[in-house]
Amino acid sequence: MANSPEYRSIPSQQPVRAAAAMVLQAVEDGQSLSQCLPLGQASVDASERPELQALCYGACRWYHRLDAELSPRMKRPLRKSDRVIHQLMIVALFQLRHSQQASYAVLNETVEACRTLGRPHLTGLVNGILRAAQRDGEPEPEKPGARFSHPDWIVEKLRHNWPEHWQAILAANNVQAPMTLRVNAEQGSREQYLQWLTEAGIEAQPTRLAPYGIQLAQPVPVERLPGFGDGAVSVQDEAAQLCTLLLDLKPGQRVLDACAAPGGKTCAILEQGPDLAEVVAIDQSASRLPRIQENLDRLCLSATLTEADAANIESWWDNEPFDRILLDVPCSASGVIRRHPDIKLLRREADITPLAGIQLGLLANLWRILKPGGRLVYATCSVFPQENHRIIQRFLRQQADARLIQPQVTWGTDTGYGRQLLPDPQAHDGFFYGVLEREESTPEHATDV
């Protein structure tokens, strides 16, 4: 599970709270929920796996607020070797504050989980702290980080960058994201699919910004979605769907989707550009390419998939330039915290500057293989300007043949160098798009690869 030997595996047949505590410890030790939750789910009964997921996501979402309550209740911190019991109490506090579980059941089963985790000597401490928390009720934190359940550095960065919106962003990050679909335009219209959903008893409405998007009133298993297995629809956030509009796809174009996994944008490009000459999708992780292929197969689409590092063009490029490039760069993911609450525990402020360097480097590198007159769309799921419009601003200063395109759209905030969408609790994730066009080559602008 994590770097310490105790969490490299979770014993089978664990109580769900014990498994949740071990998953949470693995996250604190540096693993993402997507890495360690499957191992936790394998350790519990199949019927308990949805509960385990809810506990892990909820505890991560409210960790900073719960920790601000728990820590003062303890006379001194637990030893590092007993840190998993701290996580166990975080899980229990989450249930006391945010679930309908009976308090007596939370207390009793948490004490039993403490024994299961091999710390019977701490059962008295666990029982006493949780009983006091039940008796006293939840305190109202004074500090914004605890009140909004975010690390202080994210709070301060948002307050500085978005002085009129920071509290709304923090609140939106703590709301479960809606389930949004993208209708396959090759198979039918949005109106037709909305009718299919109605007939299936699934309440839904069209998205406001994405022309092929549908938002469900409540999430459902994909198996319940009409025609999902036959490629009629895919799950994709509304903000992510907007990339195809900004690419301005035309028949006969050659398109590159860089950093493509898991392939949602690749498939959207193919659905809405059926007469493209070729779509090349690259990702440096070989283990993620099969996921792209699975999506392509389900949707009956075809693309050229390549395991490649976008930063190392010489190792994969065939010397044929691209008419369109979608560059969805690695980023802080600060715009999708509501979907990945473990980001609050995993990301550090010190990560942002190195990420910005990677982002600018990728943009400069892929610019070399964009055809003169071609268009590149730079995208992130971040709300930090350092990763977004400031990258575009820096790039334009150093690239003479780059021209900023101002898309004719009304959504998002115009930063002067692209459009910024902030997370909307009722709609889309946080996302940034910058659109650049390469001017026709001149001798002084020509670039050799």
- pTM for this one? 0.92
Residue 326, φ and ψ in degrees, nearest 5: -105, 120
- The pair of structure tokens assigned to 378 is 């730079």
Which residue(s) pair with 183 in the sheet? Answer: 233
pLDDT value for 2: 42
Q: What is the mean pLDDT of residues 114-140?
A: 95
Amino acid code (one letter) for 148: F
pLDDT value for 1: 43
Domain ranges within the chain, ordered by starting residue: 5-139, 180-235, 238-438
- The pair of structure tokens assigned to 57 is 């996501």
Q: pLDDT per residue over 97-124, tens digit each?
A: 999 989 999 999 999 999 999 999 999 9
Per DSSP, the residues of 337-402 read: TTT-TTHHHH--GGGHHHHHHHHHHHHHHHHTTEEEEEEEEEEES---GGGTHHHHHHHHHH-TTE
CB atoms within 10 A of CB 67: 18
Here the contacts of 99-108 (C-beta below 8 Å, separation 24 or greater) are 99/58, 103/134, 106/130, 107/131, 107/134
- The pair of structure tokens assigned to 306 is 């390549």
Burial (Cβ within 10 Å: 0-12, 13-18, ≥19) of residue 426: exposed
What CATH number belongs to 5-139? 1.10.940.10
- Looking at every residue in the chain, the average pLDDT score rounds to 93
pLDDT over 60 (residue 62):
yes
pLDDT value for 167: 97
Catalytic site includes residue 381: yes
Taken in order 362, 367, 369, 373, is the CA torsion positive or negative?
positive
What CATH number belongs to 238-438? 3.40.50.150
Spatial contact of 181 and 235, defined as CB atoms under 8 Å apart: yes
At 441, the pLDDT band (50, 70, 90 cuts) reads low
Residue 418, φ and ψ in degrees, nearest 5: 150, 175
pLDDT over 90 (residue 288):
no
Q: What is the mean pLDDT of residues 322-338?
A: 97
Catalytic position from the list 56, 114, 243, 381:
381
Amino acid code (one letter) for 94: F
CA distance 24 to 36: 9
pLDDT value for 285: 85
Residues 6+ apart with CB under 8 A from 443: none
CB atoms within 10 A of CB 413: 14
Residues 6+ apart with CB under 8 A from 378: 327, 329, 363, 391, 392, 418, 432, 433, 434, 435, 436
Amino acid code (one letter) for 425: P
CA distance 276 to 437: 19
Query: Which residue in this structure is represented by tokens 């550095």?
Result: 153
Of residues 397, 396, 409, the one with CA closest to residue 438:
396
CA distance 345 to 420: 24
At 12, the pLDDT band (50, 70, 90 cuts) reads low
Question: Could you give the C-alpha distances from 202 to 185, 207, 208, 221, 224, in angstroms and in order?
Answer: 20, 15, 19, 11, 9
Name the region of 351 (left: φ>0; alpha: ψ -120 to 50; beta: rest): alpha
CA distance 90 to 314: 49
What CATH number belongs to 180-235? 3.30.70.1170
Q: pLDDT per residue over 74-97, tens digit each?
A: 989 999 999 999 999 999 999 999
Of residues 122, 120, 87, the one with CA closest to residue 4:
87
- The pair of structure tokens assigned to 321 is 């330039």
pLDDT value for 449: 36
Query: Which residue in this structure is represented by tokens 């980001």?
Result: 343
CA distance 448 to 121: 68
